[in-house]
Structure 1
């Protein structure tokens, strides 16, 4: 094991211990995704999915994977980054051997592990108990999940830069949560929207991730559409990484 891996592993274990002790964060990470899938399923009962090529259960579960990533990775990490900053943990870590990317990645490690486990569990439960097709193109599904996690880690760092306290994280994370839920196809597949509206929604940060995950699980999507989705997600990741490098704060605001 390399020195970098050891340092990140130590940071990840420490962060996991703090996550387990935080009941609210643990509830958000473990149980909220299940509740949100139920909400998605109820909302899709009122949507005509005949032209989308998917059932309500398939749409809810594939959208639920992205919702889970938002809840487990994005929302938890914004609070974690802000809390560690305000407690001077990040400042102390920077005086050690770990580099800035190692500190941020190590803090994100438990959320990443949870997200991977819950993605696999969601697919397994859908196939075993809900009569949903197994992933038709696993490489697209896995790629979408990985890109989604990278994007949301970067977005969490960028959001933490403008978040003063852990309490205010509930407000600063709301725009990404609402825009993604409404416009990225989680609640309402873009195929059911007017073309002019769908074309605008395709440019949102998590729409590309949603497109890759849904195509990977349910099939469909031509090469041009999938390449465009991947490029959109990667572009937002690059923008978010730049924002973190430029504006992320390592010490409390005074």
Structure 2
């Protein structure tokens, strides 16, 4: 027979005679796994904090594209722009955006990858939940954001100063920026493969930077170059990006040319990605 009297001190709690009381064991549940997006954003936020604290790198990335654009504007005064079908604005403005991508994303990101590798940060991150692509993407996120900010600043500053017209095909300019960002991140990681120390990270990006500035049509259109030189320069990594950016303002690019430019940029990005996947060192190189 069951006794339903209550136990003193626990009002309303029934007591069962002859029944052994058991204590329920708490069940443990595994912590939910975070999403790839959350992991990348979290790592990117940490990298952004470090970037903001590094005043020298931040100033270099923000001020150098504008100052170089100003100096290159005086240099382009001797170029026969009529032969290329361009004006000073449609030459310099897309070139300044390309220059911002090179300096704010590529040059800055090579140092980030190398320094984090030398400090064993990348090795420790690989021991956690992050995958290899997530680690590289999270480290690149602040540089990509800074590159986008620089592109907006270039349009806002250079455009009015040169009386640049409104873009005739803005979607091509957007495609150019997107392709340029992906290309610069991939090339930065590939360059870090061949960079041993943080000090050498200031030198190893120079070949790509010089080729991009001199042979990709940033400030010297391929149309004013000798035919054989222009044919070679057409396959430079940044050339399709500049072509898309410039076509955004001029509108002079057919569907076939757009596909060719996107395919060339994608090929360079894939080649750089293949190099990173096969050879990227996650520990300091000795």
Interval of TM-score (by shorter of Structure 1 and Structure 2): over 0.9
Q: Quote the residue 1:116 is aligned against.
A: 148
In 2, Cα distance between equivalents of 1:90 and 1:200: 37
Deviations 1:164-205 (A, max 9, x none): 111101211010000111100012011111222111100111
Output the TM-score relative to the length of structure 1: 0.96
Structure 2 distance, partners of 1:134, 1:247, is 44
Structure 2 CA distance, aligned partners of 1:100 and 1:113?
A: 21
Are residue 133 (structure 1) and residue 133 (structure 2) matched? Answer: no
Report whether the alignment pairs 1:13 with 2:29: no
Indicate yes or no: 2:51 matched with 1:22.
Answer: no
CA contact (8 A) 2:99 2:218 kept: yes
The residue that corresponds to 1:102 in the other structure is: 134
**Alignment check: 8 A CA contact 1:93 1:103 kept:** yes
Contact residue 85 and residue 252 of structure 1 kept, 8 A: yes
- The aligned residue for residue 113 of structure 2 is 81
Structure 1: which 5+ residue stretches go unaligned?
none
* 1:181 pairs with one of 200, 213, 217: 213
Q: Provide the C-alpha distance between the structure 2 equivalents of 1:166 and 1:58, rounded to a whole number of angstroms.
A: 37
1:169 to 201, 214, 217: 201
Measured in 2, the distance between the counterparts of 1:196 and 1:221 equals 22
Aligned length: 253
Higher RCO (CA < 8 A, seq sep 6+): 1
2:78 alignment partner, SS class: coil
Q: Who is 2:242 aligned against?
A: 210
Distance 2:266 2:236 in 1: 12
Deviation at 1:128, TM superposition (A): 3.7
Which residue of the partner structure matches residue 148 of structure 1?
180
Name 1:51's counterpart in structure 2.
83
The corresponding residue for 2:11 is none
Gaps of 5+ in 2: 1-33
SS at match of 2:209: helix
TM-score under structure 2 normalisation? Answer: 0.85
| Partners of 1:114 and 1:136 in 2: CA distance | 26
CA–CA distance in 1 between the matches of 2:161 and 2:232?
36
Structure with the higher fraction of residues in helix conformation: 1
**How many Å apart are 1:33 and its aligned residue?**
0.8
In the alignment, the residues of structure 2 paired with residue 223 and residue 46 of structure 1 have an alpha-carbon distance, to the nearest angstrom, of: 32
Residues 122 and 283, structure 2, Cα contact 8 Å, conserved in 1: yes
- Which residue does the alignment assign to 2:12? none
1:199 aligns with: 231
Partners of 2:278 and 2:57 lie apart in 1 by 28
- Structure 2 residue 96 is the aligned partner of structure 1 residue 64: yes
